[in-house]
Amino acid sequence: MAVRAKPAGIFLAIVATLIILVVAGFLWIQADPARALRIAFTPGEPFTAISADPIDYTDNVNWAVLPGTNTFASAKPAGIADVTVMPEVDVFFIHPTTYLSRESWNAPLDHADANLRIEKRVLKMQASAYNLAGNIYAPRYRQATFGAFFDDAADGLQSLVFAYNDVQMAFDQFIADRNDERPFILAGHSQGSLHALALLKQRIAGTPLADRMIAAYIIGWPVSMEADLGALEDIDACASADDTRCVVSYQTFGPKGDTNGVKVYFETSVGLGGMPRKDTKMLCVNPLNWTIDGNAPAAANAGAMERVGDEDAMGSPVIGFNGARCDDDGFLYLENEPGEPWQHLKMAGENYHVYDYHMFYMNIRENAATRAAAWKAVHP
C-alpha cells in the first residue's frame, strides 16, 4: 500500500528536518574533542552527491537483512531457546553510522569496512534484539560519514539529507511491496534513529500507518516531548511496557556523565514541528522498566550483552548487569560505572552511546515481543 503525505506536511517536515540536522555536529561530544574529530574524520572536499541515481529497493541485494536471509540478525544469546518469530509482525531497522572514511561524505553501498561493521556487529548486537518480535527488514543506504556529525558547515547537513532520502525510499518500497499491511516496529540507533524520527513525521504520523505501528525505538538520539512528539499526530511516548503506537528513546551515560554536548544540540535546535527544543522536556524511557523518567535497580536488568569477535557467536547475557535511572535532564544514567569490557568504545563524558543496545539487550528483546503481542491482542 503506497502512502502519500499531504503536500503541506511534506514541506514542513523537510524544513524541520533540515533545521534539525544543521546543528547535529554538536551532538555527543564536547567542543575540543569535536574539533579534533572534525579534523580527523571530515572529508577535505565540499559535499558532492556520490551518485544521482536512486537505489532500487525492489532488488534484494540492496537490503542488509530480509526475512529468510542468513545474517547475524537472526543471532540469539547463548542459552536462549529458539522461539518462533511472529510471522505477522515486521521490523524496519535502520542501522547506525558505520562509515568512518574521509574519502566521501556518504558511503558507497559496497564499502567493505562499513558493511563489515553492519553485518558482523550491528546486526548481531542491535538488529537481532528484534528477531523474537517479527521479521526484520534492514535496508542498505548511503549513510553519512562519521565526520558529518562534527561538521559545522553545510556539507555534513547535505550528506545526512542525502542519506535520509535513501532511507525514505527504502521505507516506501517496504510498505508498498513487502509489508503487506502487517503491523510493524520501527527501530534504529544513532544516525539510524535520526532517520527514523524523520520517517515518523514524513511518512507515518497522521496516516493509516500510525495505527499499524507497534512502536518506534528511537534509541541513541534525543527526542523532545513537546517539540518532536507534540508534532506527531496520534503518536505519543511509550509510558508502559505494553504501550503501543508510541516512541521509546534514551541515551546512556555513566553515573557522573557529562551530557553538555547533547544539551548544546538540544537547546539550539528545533523539533519536527518547528518549535524550539530549548526549555522542553527530553524523553527518557527507562529500558529496565519501560516507564517515562523511570528508576530501576540492577535486578531489573534481564541481561546485557558484551561485545564479541566479528566471527564469534553471541555470549551469554550478563543478568543484573547494572541499574539505571532517568534524571530530570532527560538522560539515562547507569547506577554504577561498568567494568573494563565496557570501556573500549566509551565516548567523552562517560557517554556509553555505542552500548545503548548492548547494556539493555535482553530487556529490549523481551519488550519488543511484548508490545507486538499487545498490539495483536487489540487488533485480532
Answer yes or no: are the C-beta atoms of 277 and 224 closer than 8 Å.
Answer: yes
**What is the band of 32 on the pLDDT scale with cuts at 50, 70, 90?**
low
Q: What is the pLDDT of residue 33?
A: 63
* Residue owning grid cell 518480535: 133
Q: Please report, for residues 6, 132, 306, the alpha-carbon distance to residue 317 in angstroms, rounded to integers and kept in the order given.
A: 45, 16, 8
Residue 70 CB coordination number (10 Å): 6
Q: What is the pLDDT of residue 39?
A: 59
The model's pTM: 0.90
282-293 per-position pLDDT tens digit: 999 999 999 999
C-alpha cell at 313: 557467536
Res. 40 pLDDT band, cuts 50 70 90: low
Cα–Cα dist 380/362, whole Å = 27
Q: What is the pLDDT of residue 37?
A: 61
Is the pLDDT at 174 greater than 60? The verdict is: yes
Grid cell digits, residue 18: 533540515
Residue 216: pLDDT over 90? yes
Task: Provide the residue ranges of all domains of the chain, joining segments of one domain with +.
Answer: 7-247+256-274
**Per-residue pLDDT at 24 exceeds 70:** no
Of 68-77, 149-158, 164-173, 320-329, which gets the smallest average pLDDT?
149-158
% pLDDT > 70, the chain: 88
Structure confidence at residue 86 as a pLDDT band (50, 70, 90): confident
Average model confidence (pLDDT) across the chain: 90
